[in-house]
Amino acid sequence: NRRHFFALAETEFERSRRTGHPLSAILLDIDHFKTVNDTLGHAAGDRALQALARHCRERLRPYDVLARYGGEEFILLLPNTNENEAYAIANRLRIGLAQEADFNPPGLAPVTISSGIADLATCQAETLDRLIECADSALYRAKQQGRDRACIFRNSNALNLNVPSESL
């Protein structure tokens, strides 16, 4: 999955650099995932991961690229998508997941996700790795600001453009 993602992602990255078309990356992370595993067991954690992957696949375009990035993190590469469009996608995924029964097992506070968003132009990425680093920086900011939100990378920092779902 990861190897396949990077092969496709490199192709999309080079195509975007060559054509000037927008390209965005979103890193998604399940908030407090360890609590799900520790409280309800790894089977519940696996169901949450599967629910997240299914939820994303059902809502993405055929040419978007999704992969499990590690642990409870997923990465999305969105060709022909600027940062504002990527933000809207991340927000729709976050809000929609709050209603997924498999993602929110009984006996726990609602499980949420945080997202970090970066686009090729704002990040000024010369490599795919740099684009992912920018998205990771934005994800870190989302976690710092309380989780359950999406942040967009902005020139060495991340801008929080979201409020927690209960505030919507």
The residues assigned a catalytic role are 72
State CA 102 to chain mean position distance.
Answer: 18
Cα Rg, the chain, nearest whole Å: 15
32-36 own/partner pairs: CB under 8 Å, 24+ apart: 32/111, 32/112, 32/147, 33/71, 33/72, 33/111, 35/108, 36/105, 36/108, 36/111
Length of the chain in terms of residues written? 168
Residue 16 corresponds to which amino acid?
Answer: S
